[in-house]
């Protein structure tokens, strides 16, 4: 559930981030394309289009004008000049102006400039800005060679506002040389004279009133460079259509601009989608490929090689922490490690079990072969035809057969106990017991055993009761194994002391003797199955499982068993129950 929630959250915020990123990218691309579109419009309709943008982006406060740096560069690059005039006619800002230009204008001068669109030899575009508390006027001036040429033609060739008949050949030659056309219209827009190479529709007989104004304000909207001149309000208007110079941007229909804009946005979307998809594929595909490698190694049984050295460097930092791209899969990686550890441990346990099974089979066959050989030998003797056996000999043979049978029965019983403790240790039924009384009764059996008169048994306990949760049958078997082992491996005359009590809130049992003791190797291997010790007669009775069973009983009661011994100094075995309630 935790992984599911984090995966859902991860992909949700990833989608959100990607959406925001795409939106920002699209807006940026849109602004770039829009800016390009605007720049094209400014270039096509220069200078009137530029002046609109300059006015909208200029900031005016307390007689201080702030002009953006890119417009300063634009004005300088296109060799035009800018002046900002306040309501009193004073120039409060100027850029790229000549030294002789005035710093203030009278009302009459401003009216003349506004009406004629000219100041001295400059063509001037004017625009008011009324957004502030006091109005300001922008003047954008530029030199126009074509306008000066047209004005010169007017002064040289005109008569009553038209080209004089005697001047037609000269003007026609000049117009053909530049590939231009001169059209003269009256106040109503009717064409009254046309000279030069025709670049206009021959069927057109007049211009609409606004068309002439559009030619003047937005020359870039036409497929020719248009220059308009009118000497005064009563004079006809002269219009020159000249070829556009190479490199000049021609008119592009609005729909074509929109189509290009949409194509640009579509291509940007496609590239961004491909980039994000590739990034996501690499980010989320690489861990899956790595997991596949894990499965392949696990299929081959290489459980300890969860990650190769290369994978480990790719997944973990030098400080051992997961890298950012793999943190989403930290539970998966952790589960893989735990699963691999369990499988490796299972494989190890299986190998150990196989080895133990072989050892057990070898031990069983060895331990059963010797008593069976003895029983078989006495059987052959008893079935022989000779009948000269006296009662004493027959009694001895019967005793040997009984002892070997008892040994085999004990061996089978010990195997049964080992199986129960190994596979059902958690199912051992336990009840509330008083440890001192239980151990006292177990020791008393040995004290009263007439066959053990050569050994002295001593029991010592605390006066306070020792409650413990345990199984009386298994605890009796535990003490029987310890006491019988002490008797079996020591000579008569040995004193065996059993002590019970509490140490650090832990119940304990200690079985100590003053016998011959054990060497270091025997102490270390005392609880191994089938180990009888280096100083033990190999013909001694016993299966070699007694001390192993004792340890398993202690562990089934959530305790621990310890041994301390040295050659010639006796042996002490301590049992401590760490949890008396379970």
Among candidate residues 26, 35, 84, 91, the one with its CA nearest the CA of residue 55: 84
Between CA 379 and CA 373 the distance in angstroms is: 10
Model pLDDT for residues 174-191, shown as the tens digit of each residue: 888 878 888 888 878 888
Architecture of domain 48-142 in this structure = 2-Layer Sandwich (3.30)
Question: How far, in Å, CA of 41 to CA of 45, rounded?
Answer: 6
Domain layout of the chain by residue ranges: 48-142, 145-252, 256-336, 428-577
Residue whose pair of structure tokens reads 């562990």 in the numeric block: 555
* pLDDT tens digits along 268-325: 777 877 777 777 666 666 677 777 777 777 777 766 666 667 777 777 887 878 777 6
pLDDT per residue over 410-428, tens digit each?
A: 777 766 766 666 665 555 6
> Which of 216, 209, 221 has its CA nearest to residue 257?
221
pTM for the full predicted model: 0.38
Q: Give me 372's structure tokens.
A: 């069976």
Q: Do domains 48-142 and 428-577 have the same CATH topology?
A: no
What's the pLDDT at 539?
42
C-alpha–C-alpha distance, residues 235 and 250, integer Å: 31
- Averaged pLDDT score across all residues of the chain: 78
Task: Tell me how far the alpha carbon of residue 298 is from its chain's centroid.
Answer: 25
- What CATH code is assigned to 428-577? 3.30.565.10
> What's CA 21's distance to the chain center, in Å?
18
pLDDT confidence bin for 540, thresholds 50/70/90: very low
* Residue of 162, 175, 177, 165 lying closest to 235 (CA atoms): 162
């Amino acid at each position: 559930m935790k992984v599911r929630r984090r995966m859902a959250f991860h992909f949700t915020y990833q989608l959100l981030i990607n959406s925001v990123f795409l939106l920002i990218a699209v807006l940026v691309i849109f602004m770039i394309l829009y800016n390009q579109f605007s720049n094209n419009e400014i270039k096509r309709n220069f200078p009137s289009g530029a002046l609109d943008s300059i006015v909208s982006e200029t900031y005016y406060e307390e007689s201080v004008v702030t002009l953006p740096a890119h417009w300063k560069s634009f004005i300088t690059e296109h060799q035009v000049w800018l002046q900002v005039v306040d309501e009193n006619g004073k120039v409060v800002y100027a850029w790229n102006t000549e030294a002789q230009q005035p710093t203030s204008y009278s009302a009459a001068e401003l009216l003349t400039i506004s009406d004629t669109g000219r100041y001295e030899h400059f063509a001037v575009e004017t625009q008011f800005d009324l957004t502030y508390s006091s109005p300001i006027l922008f003047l954008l001036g530029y030199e126009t060679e074509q306008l000066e040429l047209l004005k010169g033609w007017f002064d040289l060739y005109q008569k009553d506002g038209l080209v004089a008949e005697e001047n037609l050949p000269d003007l026609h030659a000049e117009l053909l040389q530049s590939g231009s056309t001169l059209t003269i219209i009256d106040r109503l827009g009717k064409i009254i004279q046309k000279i030069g190479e025709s670049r206009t529709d021959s069927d057109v007989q007049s211009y609409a009133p606004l068309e002439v104004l559009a030619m003047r304000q937005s020359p870039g909207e036409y497929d020719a460079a248009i220059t308009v001149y009118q000497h005064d309000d009563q004079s006809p208007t002269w219009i020159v259509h000249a070829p556009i110079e190479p490199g000049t941007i021609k008119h592009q229909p609005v729909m074509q601009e929109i189509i290009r804009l949409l194509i640009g946005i579509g291509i940007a979307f496609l590239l961004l989608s491909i980039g994000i998809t590739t990034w996501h594929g690499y980010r989320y595909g690489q861990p899956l490929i790595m997991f596949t490698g894990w499965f392949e190694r696990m299929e081959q049984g290489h459980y300890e090689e969860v990650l190769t050295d290369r994978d480990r460097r790719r997944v973990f930092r030098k400080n051992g922490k997961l890298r950012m791209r793999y943190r989403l899969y930290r539970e998966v990686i952790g589960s893989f490690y735990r699963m691999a550890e369990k499988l490796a441990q299972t494989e190890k346990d299986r190998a150990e079990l196989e080895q133990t099974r072989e050892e057990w089979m070898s031990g069983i066959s060895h331990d059963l072969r010797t008593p069976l050989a003895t029983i078989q030998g006495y059987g052959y003797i008893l079935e022989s035809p000779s009948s000269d056996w006296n009662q004493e000999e027959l009694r001895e043979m019967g005793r040997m057969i009984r002892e070997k049978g008892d040994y085999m029965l004990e061996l089978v019983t010990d195997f049964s106990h080992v199986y129960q403790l190994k596979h059902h240790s958690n199912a051992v039924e336990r009840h509330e017991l008083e440890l001192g009384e239980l151990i006292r009764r177990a020791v008393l059996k040995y004290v009263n055993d007439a066959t053990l008169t050569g050994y002295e048994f001593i029991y010592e306990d605390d006066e306070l009761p020792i409650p413990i949760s345990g199984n009386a049958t298994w605890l009796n078997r535990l003490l029987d194994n310890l006491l019988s082992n002490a008797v079996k491996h020591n000579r008569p005359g040995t004193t065996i002391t059993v002590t019970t009590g509490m140490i650090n809130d832990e119940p304990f049992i200690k079985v100590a003797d003053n016998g011959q003791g054990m060497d270091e190797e025997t102490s270390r291997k005392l609880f191994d199955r089938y180990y009888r010790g280096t100083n033990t007669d190999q013909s001694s009775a016993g299966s070699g499982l007694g001390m192993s069973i004792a340890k398993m009983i202690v562990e089934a009661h959530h305790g621990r068993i310890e041994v301390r011994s040295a050659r010639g100094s006796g042996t002490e075995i301590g049992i401590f129950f760490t949890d008396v309630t379970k």
